[in-house]
Amino acid sequence: MKLRLYMAAQAVLLAGCTHTRVTHAPSTTPAVFAQQVRNAHNAVDAGDGDYHLNTLRAQAAAEPENAEVRLALIQAYRDLSYPDVALEMARAAAARFPGNEAIQLSLVRSLRDANLQSEAISVLDAWMKAQPQASASAYSWMGILEDESSHWVAAEPLHRKAVSLAPQAAYLHNNLGYNLRMQSRYPEAAVEFREALRLEPGSAMARNNLAVVLAGQGENRQAVAELQTGADPATAHSNMAAVLIEKGNFAEAHQELEIALGYNRLHPAALRNLELLSRLEGQPATLPAHESSGTRWERWKAGFIRLFVGPLDVSRTDAGKPVPPRSEEEP
């Protein structure tokens, strides 16, 4: 499982996030105390009936200094979709094991999952200043948090430090490349994505990212060739259309979708991208001309209408077939 900055949809509509810095101060108000009590009860109730969770809780109670058990317990609550409980446990574990990097990164992840981005940055920054021997993972996490806050320039040296500490980790080169891509430094980004692919040839994330930066330099044919390395032709051209939609090159996007639908007339992602593109242009969705029998065409037309009945919210991240995330994270 790897750290992800999530790529939006096939239309690659990226949105920057801003976060208000949040500070937390001790409080003894009845409302805060009541919330703390509820959190404690939730932690107990959440584990009822789950053998694995109950076992971990019992082990944590019997071995209070076992950091690995604490990590496993936090992850178990996260897996069971109790992020609030996981966050409270991560806070407690971080206080008990201040020098344990894995525990601190678990807290950072929980804060990030709770959309407490500013607090996550503050917590990790303070820990790294107190721990000068932080690993590549810590620097990578900090770089990703800064990226997610659109602090591209501040994030770059963090990604470079992570790469210098673990140069054979493909995902770190991918993350540095993503940061450079967001700064529109396409040639440098391409170098990092190619290195990521050299280290991990099967990385769909790095390959999609490389295609994006090649398209950003106007090298559309090379971009499609890269996409076809890891996907069928219809998907490759549909993904290329998504990149062009992001750039605002609607005419070229239409051409790519025509090619995609030429390979597979019922390709779901291409159809969704066609609908999205048509709505962005304020036009009804129309299919490229295709020789077919009337009966077959009518069946397809009816299916198309059923597929796209109702409005499409172009702000949704599922407006098209999702492209793999552009940045990755370590477990």
Q: Quick: pLDDT tens for 207-264.
A: 989 998 998 888 888 888 888 887 788 888 888 888 888 888 888 888 888 888 888 8
Instruction: Kindly state which CATH superfamily the domain 31-134 is placed in.
Output: Tetratricopeptide repeat domain (1.25.40.10)
Residue 9 in this model has a pLDDT that exceeds 70: no
The CA-based angle 270-276-278, given to 5 degrees, is 100
If one counts every other C-beta atom within 10 angstroms of the C-beta of residue 122, the result is 18
Token duo for residue 199: 């280290």
Name the residue with tokens 């930066």: 213
- CA pair distance 138, 124, nearest whole angstrom: 8
- CA pair distance 68, 72, nearest whole angstrom: 6
Which CA distances in Å does 314 have to 11, 14, 251, 319? 9, 12, 18, 6
The pLDDT of residue 314 is: 29
Name the residue with tokens 């995330």: 325
If one counts every other C-beta atom within 10 angstroms of the C-beta of residue 14, the result is 15
pLDDT in tens, 174-201: 999 999 999 999 999 999 999 999 999 9
In this structure, the dihedral spanned by the alpha carbons of residues 4, 115, 159 and 194, taken in order and rounded to 10 degrees, is 20
pLDDT in tens, 66-89: 999 999 999 999 999 999 999 999
The pLDDT of residue 297 is: 54
Mean local confidence (pLDDT), 100-126? 95
- CA pair distance 9, 11, nearest whole angstrom: 5
> Which of 36-45, 74-83, 163-172, 280-289 is predicted most confidently?
163-172
pTM value? 0.67
What is the residue extent of each domain of the chain? 31-134
- Mean pLDDT value across the chain: 78
More confident site: 282 or 48: 282
Nearest to 156 by CA among 135, 181, 131, 128: 181
Distance of CA 133 to the CA centre of its chain: 27
Name the residue type at position 125: D
Where would I find the H helices in 1-135? 30-47, 51-62, 67-79, 83-96, 101-113, 117-130
